Amino acid sequence: MMNLQDFLTMRHEILLILVAVIVLIGEIFISDKSKHVIINLTIILFLLHTIVGFLPIQEGKLFGGMYQNDLFRATLKNILNIGVFIILLQSSAWIRKEENRGKISEYFILLLSTLVGMYFMISSGDFLMLYLGLELATIPIAALAAFDTHKNNSAEAGIKLILSSALSSGILLFGISMIYGTTGSVYFTEVAANFGKESLQILGFIFFVAGMGFKISLVPFHLWTADVYEGAPINVTSYLSVISKGAAVFIFTIVLYKVFGQIAEMWNVLLYVLAVLTMTIGNLFAIRQNNMKRFLAFSSIAQAGFILLGIMGSNAAGVTSVVYFMLIYILTNLGAFGVVSAIYNASGKEDMRDYNGLYKTNPKLSLLMTLALFSLAGIPPVAGFFGKFFLFTSVASLNDYKYYILVLIAVLNATISLFYYLRVVKAMFIDPNDNPIPYFKTDTPARIGLLICVFGVFLVGFVAAIYEAIYHFSSFI
Amino acid sequence: MNSEYLILFFLLGVILVGGAIVFSMFVAPSSKNSAKSEPYECGIPVKSDAWIQFNVGYYLFAIIYLIFDVETVFIFPWGVVMRDMGLTAFIEILVFFFILVLGLLYAWKKGALRWV
């Protein structure tokens, strides 16, 4: 029987649903003329929700073990909260535009409901809850990707996303059904206890990896990524590439460690191949891109390959390095996307050639973009370096020559990635342009968002306490 | 490791699906005429191509109807256990109604209930 105490355990979810319901009530009762109030209302409510999320939580399991919350999962949710807060700030200028009048609150409600899905996904204690959360996190995103109703490629992005995620969900469910059929349970703990390394169970596991691979956009399953990222509105793209990928990485790590821990040697081989493919192909395709959104899409595919290295570490340091890298990746990538979205909102340009000579007209934005790209590439003073460093350390600590080779491949790929990140920097600082993007003033919310990113990129790298805290929470996995 | 089950699993899948198709090919009587190639074998004859404008109002009505249809389905099991669970169940169904009614109000505000 549920009582009030139980509701405190799922405080994150309930508060977020409350925020979404308040926005919906606002949409119903606020007159059309003053709809803009909803934007600030949502941002303030979400800020409150983010702050409350850091208060100590009550650990526990609910619904017979289908839902569980502990310090580790609460930390993951808080990390996602920070990212979503920055995205809300960045999208404020875009959603204010005339073309989006009449669907302001829809954007926020859809965004918040996907986040609820991700919360349930992270907190799931069995495969059924994981699947439900995954669906709740995916279906509204397809509507968001098709949000620019006047653009054809936005609709294309939506339909591509819904079709490919339907396929991947099917594969995932097929895998789960095999695991259920052979172990007789969908609960994580019972599946782990009854896992007998039978071939049908291994097959189910491989289907599970394939299904999750779609969401994280690992290489054989990445084909939807670039088209969807290009077609979707830019703030939705940043949401897809950062928050949705982050949540999928988190639950993927949790399930690999908690449920399939016994066959760690087996999935290490699987992830080895996937990591090499993802890093290399993501990088090689990124070199040729000229559209900034496509470019960041392939860059995010390559980053997913690096994340797999940390998962392979198979120990507490491995989990820590993944969570730590995701936190840095969220801040860094949102910095890059923030600049791209600010430029798009002001001038409607998103081609790399349009960035030529940006430093002369908009020096602050160019410096910020440079900082974000350096962090993505992993150049020492910024946090991206530390993130990659811990990922590589975690896989090298397995102490086997084949993992040293993997680290070598990863380092080579990091060098290749430096080339295409620097291409953007070269365009902004060196390449001449007769009519560069004129000077413009970024709106205040987006400024605050970018400021958080800059502080985060330095702070997370230098303050060891953050790493220590994540290390401490990771032991609760 | 018992990979024979896996082989059996695949074989059964292929046999069941492929067998059904092949079997129906032999058994089913085949008749070919122009009505066969119509999109709808029975119904109004299709005259023009599909790229015409039509009223999406039907879909909106169908979706709103569906929400309240599903609501009813949820109320039946609730009604069965309501007496045992007491006040908790009552409050929970009120929350459920509240959110659904908000959905209806939203659809109303957006003009989905107006027939155009």
- Tell me how close the Cα of A322 comes to any Cα of chain B, in angstroms: 32
What is this structure's pTM? 0.89
Look at the block and give the residue holding tokens 């074989």: B11
Query: pLDDT by residue for chain B (116 residues), tens digit each?
Result: 567 777 888 899 999 999 999 999 888 887 777 777 777 777 777 777 777 777 777 788 888 888 888 888 888 888 888 888 888 888 888 988 898 888 888 888 888 788 76
Residue B104's closest chain A neighbor by CA?
A: A28
CA triplet A317, A320, A323: central angle to 5 degrees?
155
pLDDT at B21: 92
Alpha carbons A404 and A411: distance in angstroms, whole number: 10
A6 vs B: CB within 8 A: no
Average pLDDT over chain A reads 89
How many helices and strands in chain B, by DSSP H and E? 3, 0
- What is the pLDDT, as a whole number, of residue B2? 66
Give residue-wise pLDDT tens across range A313-354: 767 788 889 999 999 999 999 999 999 999 888 888 888 888
User: Helices A127-145 and A152-183 meet at what angle, rounded to 10?
Assistant: 170
Answer whether A185's CB lies under 8 Å from A194's CB.
yes
Tell me the pLDDT tens digit for each residue of A414-433: 999 999 999 889 988 888 87
pLDDT for B17-39, tens place per residue? 999 999 998 888 877 777 777 77
Residue A126 has phi, psi (to 5 degrees) of -150, 170
| Phi and psi angles of residue B77, each rounded to the nearest 5 degrees, phi first | -65, -30
Q: What is the pLDDT of residue A122?
A: 93
Quote the percentage of chain A above a pLDDT of 70.
99
Mean pLDDT of A24-37: 86
Residues contacting B65, CB < 8 A, separation 6+: none
User: Residue A116: is its pLDDT beyond 90?
Assistant: yes
Rounded to an integer, the average pLDDT of A176-203 is 87
pLDDT confidence bin for A2, thresholds 50/70/90: low
pLDDT tens-digit readout, A351-362? 888 888 888 888
Nearest by CB to A2, from B1, B88, B105: name it: B88
- HSE on the CB side for A12, CA within 13 Å? 31
Architecture of domain B3-109: Up-down Bundle (1.20)
Alpha carbon of A305 to those of A137, A249, A312, A333, A395: distances in Å?
22, 11, 11, 15, 13
Higher pLDDT, A171 or A378: A171
Q: Which two tokens stand for residue A419?
A: 């080339």
**Would you call A1 and B99 a contact, using CB atoms and an 8 Å cutoff?**
no
What number of H helices and E strands is found in chain A? Answer: 21, 2
Helix, strand or coil for residue A67? strand
Contact B5 A199 (CB under 8 A): yes
A28 close contact with B: CB closer than 8 A: yes
Distance (Å) from the C-alpha of residue B32 to the closest C-alpha of chain A? 34
A28/B3 CB distance under 8 A: no
pLDDT band at A151 (very low <50, low <70, confident <90, very high): confident
Go through chain B and tell me how many residues it has. 116
The yes-or-no verdict on residue A218 having pLDDT over 60 is yes
Do residue B5 and residue A200 have CB atoms under 8 angstroms apart?
A: yes
Q: Please judge whether A28 and B99 are an interchain contact, meaning their C-beta atoms are less than 8 angstroms apart.
A: no
A25 pLDDT above the threshold of 60: yes
Secondary structure E strands in A35-162: 60-62, 67-69
Cα of B25 to nearest chain A Cα, Å: 29
The residue extents of the domains of chain B are 3-109
Is residue A325 a contact partner of residue A307, using CB atoms and an 8 Å limit? yes
Overall average pLDDT of the A17-36 stretch = 88
The C-alpha atoms of residue A156 and residue B51 are separated, in whole angstroms, by 17
What is the pLDDT, as a whole number, of residue A325?
A: 92
Residue B114, pLDDT score = 80
- Per DSSP, A13 falls in state H
Q: Say which residue, A196 or A302, is predicted with more confidence.
A: A302
Angle among Cα A87, A80, A234 to the nearest 5 degrees reads: 30
| pLDDT of residue A1 exceeding 60 | no
End-to-end CA gap in chain A: 26
pLDDT bracket for residue A60 (50, 70, 90): confident
- pLDDT at site A152: 85
